[in-house]
Structure 1
Amino acid sequence: MRNGVAVALLGIFMWVARQPNTFRGVYDHYQWIFTYVILLSLFYSNLYWLVPEFLFKKKIVIYGIGLLLLNLAGSMVIYLFHVFVLEPHRVVKVQEKPFVILQTIVLAIFLLLIILSSTSVKFFKKWISDIEKINELERRALESELNALRHQIQPHFLFNMLNNINVLTRKDPAKASNIIVRFSEFLRHLLYENNHTETALSGEIKFLTDYLNLEAMRRDDFDYSINYEEENIKNVILPPNILLVFVENAIKHSADPSEGSYIDLRFSIENNEFCFWCTNSIPIFTNRNSKSSGIGLLNLERRLQLLYNDNFYLNSSCNENEYIASLKLPL
């Protein structure tokens, strides 16, 4: 497309710059048409041969020699065409010899500029191509990193559940069997229903509800609540497993064998933003300096940076009895 525009512009230039009535009859048109054809030949010879074969391969000296030879060949062909084809049909008297020499020099410079213009076109096309390749590589790297971060969550979730089931098989086999059936639904969700870049919030809430229900079956004195307005979350779309990290973290750090524990989830849409709060109780005796406690949230923060740049809000705080994590995402 860009080459076609260059060819058209060059043709218009040759038509406008021609000297009409210099030669007899149709030969007056032969002058600018032949020159135009030679210019195109030089233009494309440099574009598709000299530049890729020598300049791009850093053979600068050979490219310079080729450029001069191409310019000389074009000038000679135009000169011979004028002498043997056009001159016998000249109408306008030829200028003084010094002026003819000046015209020849101007023609050579003009040809060189046309050839060099194709060099700039080639460099521009290569620059565009390189930018597209860089963008493609960055996009693929971004997708790979997102997939890697996302799939770090799933094994963590699976290993926790398998360990819980293993413990329960010794204490209550019937209950463990029921949990295994429910757990198979989670595997189906993770392997088949959640392998997309986006998912409906309503589906994520159902998934988290089932997860918390499983946890309630496994643990005594555990309670949870999920608060949202059905109408508000109907059309909300989110990246998959964004909220699972909060719930996993809350389940892990709310467990208290001596007292009851709870988790509260709240969802709302405010000012065209998705808002989420996850609150969990804190056991009386807990290691608040555990280094492993924040790995999931650190991975989540990196994933959010890749997806939203700095266009998100992620915060966590705690008091003596509760840990609160909050998230806001633009819609």
Structure 2
Amino acid sequence: MKRIKKVFTLIHLVVWKLLALLIGLQLWTEGDPNWRALTVSTLLTCLYVFYSHFYILTHYQGKARKVSYYFRLLFVILTGPLPFVLFHPRAFASWGNFSDYYAMTLASAVPLFLFLSWLARITENLVLNTIRKEQLEKQAVEAELYYLKSQINPHFLFNTLNNIHTLVYKQAPAAPEAVQRLSSLMRYMIYESNAALVPLVREIDYLRDYIGLQQLRYKNSPVVDLKVQGEFASCHIAPLLFIHLLENAYKHSPARLEAGQVKVKVEVNDNTLIFSIQNPSAKNPGNSLEEPGGIGLPNVRKRLALLYPQQHSLEVSHSDELFTIVLHIQGLKMQSHDTKTYLLHH
């Protein structure tokens, strides 16, 4: 906002300098011997009328201040010609000259610069209000994104901690790896996901950690078949976009899953990301996308609409046997330097 106000100040300075140059040049070309004094007197009247009215419009707006506005406006109109008359070299030669110059300025310069000051005030208000509105909308979007992003199912965390507790109690070899995965997952959620964009490779690592922790619930071989294809090393994406879809795949599936029954595929093709997930449909009607404690597709749709307007498509198909979601995101951000730094760091 300060930068915009500085731009307006610069515009004012440039316009007034150009006006002074034009007035002086016009009087000089006409051969008036007093062109300097006339330039100064004309410019002083213009400045006085313009900024007096500009100030009044700024500080005396609103229905409750209409009377104050009209009194001050009348004062500016009546005193507006005085700078020109007082600095005019021939204004005091006679009363006739004084009244003529006063009337001429009152009829020409005063109305013109009253109108220009009103136009300038309206224009600045319009621009500033538009910028304020955009800033408020941006803040609202950021707040909503933060709210939506934070809604990871807390039951997952509680269940994971219980599972890890069981592993530790049994002194299972998988316990240290489970703790490490949970630590990585929580670090990503709390710290790394605060960025507007994250490396796609990090988002995939997050999915792997989540899948590894969910696997603690199953005795079978990995129930999720995760495939990654394409040149994704330099791709960046908004964080925590896929987790709700994966979370719902678990919730929407039968309680008992066989190895590889949940199929997840992440593919990057020609600057387009394709994320697909397929899981067997649960016969239990309680496992719905709108189940309390779950976030479901509304969260994903809202975030996609806010983050990737006109750049995405989300297809959902549901049958008695399979539930499938396919997400396309066009125009991925490519930041190879940052990704290389991340890969070296990790």
Give the structure-1-normalised TM-score.
Answer: 0.81
Residue aligning to 1:265: 264
Instruction: Report matched runs for 1:78-97 at 5 Å.
Output: 78-82=84-88, 85-86=89-90
Query: Using the alignment, how far apart are the partners of 1:273 and 1:44 within structure 2?
Result: 54
Structure 1 pair 79–31 and aligned structure 2 pair: CA distance change class (3 A): same
Q: Structure 1 residue 60: deviation in Å?
A: 2.7
Amino acid at match of 1:174: A
Residue aligning to 2:143: 144
Amino acid at match of 2:90: L
1:44 counterpart = 2:42 = no
Q: Structure 1 residue 198: deviation in Å?
A: 1.2
Q: Structure 1 residue 254: deviation in Å?
A: 2.2
Structure 1 pair 177–272 and aligned structure 2 pair: CA distance change class (3 A): closer
Amino acid at match of 2:41: F
Conserved 8 A contact 2:27-2:35: no
Conserved 8 A contact 1:311-1:330: yes
Which range is displaced more, 238-247 or 68-77? 68-77
Residue aligning to 2:218: 219
**Any idea what SS the aligned residue of 2:150 has?**
helix
Conserved 8 A contact 2:241-2:300: yes
Give the structure-2-normalised TM-score.
Answer: 0.78
Structure 1 pair 138–153 and aligned structure 2 pair: CA distance change class (3 A): same
**Any idea what SS the aligned residue of 2:202 has?**
helix
Conserved 8 A contact 1:220-1:260: no
Structure 2 portions without partners, runs of 5+: 1-9, 332-346
Structure 1 pair 314–42 and aligned structure 2 pair: CA distance change class (3 A): same
Structure 1 pair 29–310 and aligned structure 2 pair: CA distance change class (3 A): closer
Query: Using the alignment, how far apart are the partners of 1:88 and 1:141 within structure 2?
Result: 62
Amino acid at match of 1:308: Y
Residue aligning to 1:108: 106
Amino acid at match of 1:86: R
Conserved 8 A contact 1:153-1:296: no
Match of 1:55 among 53, 61, 67: 61
Amino acid at match of 2:305: Q
Conserved 8 A contact 1:31-1:86: no
Amino acid at match of 1:203: R
Query: Using the alignment, how far apart are the partners of 1:150 and 1:258 within structure 2?
Result: 28
Residue aligning to 1:94: none
1:32 counterpart = 2:39 = yes
Structure 1 pair 105–160 and aligned structure 2 pair: CA distance change class (3 A): farther
Structure 1 pair 235–295 and aligned structure 2 pair: CA distance change class (3 A): same
Instruction: Report matched runs for 1:148-227 at 5 Å.
Output: 148-153=147-152, 155=154, 157-162=156-161, 168=166, 174=172, 177-178=175-176, 179-221=178-220, 222-227=222-227
**Any idea what SS the aligned residue of 1:126 has?**
helix
Q: Structure 1 residue 271: deviation in Å?
A: 4.3
Structure 1 pair 288–323 and aligned structure 2 pair: CA distance change class (3 A): farther
Match of 2:20 among 11, 17, 22: 11
Residue aligning to 2:322: 322
Query: Using the alignment, how far apart are the partners of 2:287 and 2:15 within structure 1?
Result: 67
User: Which digits, 9 at most, give the CA deviation of each residue in 1:185-230, with x for residues without a partner?
Assistant: 322222233332211111111221222223333302352222223x
1:308 counterpart = 2:308 = yes
Structure 1 pair 224–258 and aligned structure 2 pair: CA distance change class (3 A): closer
Report the aligned-residue RMSD.
3.3
Structure 1 pair 323–77 and aligned structure 2 pair: CA distance change class (3 A): closer
Conserved 8 A contact 1:261-1:281: no
Query: Using the alignment, how far apart are the partners of 1:256 and 1:156 within structure 2?
Result: 16
Structure 1 portions without partners, runs of 5+: 91-96
Query: Using the alignment, how far apart are the partners of 2:251 and 2:14 within structure 1?
Result: 65
How many residue pairs were aligned? 315
Structure 1 pair 28–197 and aligned structure 2 pair: CA distance change class (3 A): closer
Instruction: Report matched runs for 1:230-269 at 5 Å.
Output: 232-257=231-256, 262-269=261-268
Query: Using the alignment, how far apart are the partners of 1:65 and 1:193 within structure 2?
Result: 60
Residue aligning to 1:228: 228
Query: Using the alignment, how far apart are the partners of 2:180 and 2:270 within structure 1?
Result: 41
Structure 1 pair 318–309 and aligned structure 2 pair: CA distance change class (3 A): same
Amino acid at match of 2:48: S
Match of 2:70 among 55, 60, 64: 64
Conserved 8 A contact 1:233-1:269: yes
Conserved 8 A contact 2:91-2:101: no
Q: Structure 1 residue 255: deviation in Å?
A: 3.8
